[in-house]
Amino acid sequence: MDTRYIIINIENFPYDSQECNLKFGGWSNDGQTLALEQIPVNIKDKPERRVDQSGTEYLYLEQGLGLSFYHESAEWDLLSATSSRYAQIYPGCCGQQFYIDIRYNIVIRRKAIFFTVMLTIPCMLIANLTPFVFVIPPNEHKMTFSISVFVAFTLFYLVLIELIPPTSLVLPLIGKYLLFTLMMITVSILISVVNVNIYRRQAFASEMSPWQRWLFVKTLPRLLKLKQLEESDQSVVSSVTTLGGIVLTSLLFVTNIYCQNLQDSQTQAGPESNSDRKPSMPPFHTPRLRLLSLIEMDQAMKRKHRTDNLDLFRKISGSLQIIAANFHNRQMEDKITDEWRLMSLVIDRVCLIVYLIMNLIGNVLFIYNSPTLYDDRPSLGRTVPFSPLSGDAVNVIHSSIANF
């Protein structure tokens, strides 16, 4: 049993095909002494004369190997087994004698069902989970989901090491896809960390710059069909701010009316009612003096009530203005907080779109660079045993020798 080793190219693993070249010839015997000939499997097949790239003629046989003792492999498909007969002269060492060699070209294709089910589909499913990180609201669940995807991919990657052929000559196709997916997951975790920080940012921490407000609050939400922030109602703030002045004016007006009514009622009551109130009034007071005294007392009482009410109303007005200022400050803080949250949602939506597009491009490129997915050539199977030295086969050999 003869064993041969070939160098394989796993650039397109697991959707790759390999080519094996075998050369048989005599080195110590020239073509006159050792004549190697191709034996066709089918009697109807005849060697075809061709010219290679260097201009050398050779005889080509499509089915150059007999497959009557061929055992099919569970991992590879045999696509072709051709043979070529060369008669060459080596003037540097062997003079003008020609030497005959037969070169076999065997092409095998890897069966990809196992690797598709166990390798490609799980990797694509994990990669397609990455964009959904940006659908979750920016909270602790977002980070939990991101880390879970990363851990799942890492464990899956450890299993894949046993399936991928170890080599440093070239990076396999599935290795490129895994590296692409790992980078996507890592970047999504970093974006999630930054996005959660933006979402939790309050007004006292920092305020948006003008270009951030223009880009993330005014422009992108409209393009991404997100709900925009409503403009703050300044009329409400101004109404609350001027409420103190309105109340103060109204109450002063009511106080003036109250004092005027009090004076009118005392005037209509006359001196008699006032004398009833003041029984200890000195007897030498005349009615006119008593009336003047009552008027002065009423005016003093009116001034006292007005001063007390004015102080009270000023305190009320000041309190209302403080409430209005606090309301305005809180409204501005809520607006800034809402702007940061809107910016976080905009970043999520943009990253979701970008990741969906990049995943689609990555999957398309992976499928496009898998040549065996488009190779529909049927595999060769075992042929019927035949006698290579039968009469018809010998006649074909003699005719091919005569033609060459």
Contact call for residues 335 and 232 (beta carbons, < 8 A): yes
pLDDT at 385: 73
Per residue in 228-249, pLDDT (tens digit) is: 776 655 544 455 555 555 555 5
Distance, in Å, from the CA atom of 324 to the CA atom of 317, rounded to the nearest integer, reads 10
Distance, in Å, from the CA atom of 331 to the CA atom of 341, rounded to the nearest integer, reads 15
Distance, in Å, from the CA atom of 243 to the CA atom of 320, rounded to the nearest integer, reads 7
Q: Read off the pLDDT band of 272 (50, 70, 90).
A: very low
Which burial class, exposed, middle or buried, applies to 140 when counting CB atoms under 10 A from its CB (0-12, 13-18, 19+)? exposed
Distance, in Å, from the CA atom of 101 to the CA atom of 90, rounded to the nearest integer, reads 13
Alpha-carbon distances of 386 from 42, 43, 104, 396, rounded to whole Å = 9, 10, 20, 15
| Token duo for residue 233 | 């109602």
User: Of 210 and 43, which is predicted with more confidence?
Assistant: 210
Quote the pTM value. Answer: 0.70
Distance, in Å, from the CA atom of 183 to the CA atom of 307, rounded to the nearest integer, reads 76
The fold of the 1-110 domain, in CATH, is Acetylcholine Binding Protein; Chain: A, (2.70.170)
Q: Read off the pLDDT band of 181 (50, 70, 90).
A: very high
User: Of 256 and 266, which is predicted with more confidence?
Assistant: 256
Per residue in 138-168, pLDDT (tens digit) is: 888 888 999 999 999 988 888 888 888 887 7
Which of the residue ranges 192-196, 201-205, 262-266, 333-337 would you say has the lowest mean pLDDT?
Answer: 262-266
pLDDT at 5: 75
Domain ranges for the chain: 1-110, 115-224+327-374
Please state the rounded mean pLDDT for residues 272-296.
Answer: 51
Q: Read off the pLDDT band of 206 (50, 70, 90).
A: confident
pLDDT at 372: 86
pLDDT at 382: 85
Contact call for residues 337 and 202 (beta carbons, < 8 A): yes
Distance, in Å, from the CA atom of 331 to the CA atom of 323, rounded to the nearest integer, reads 12
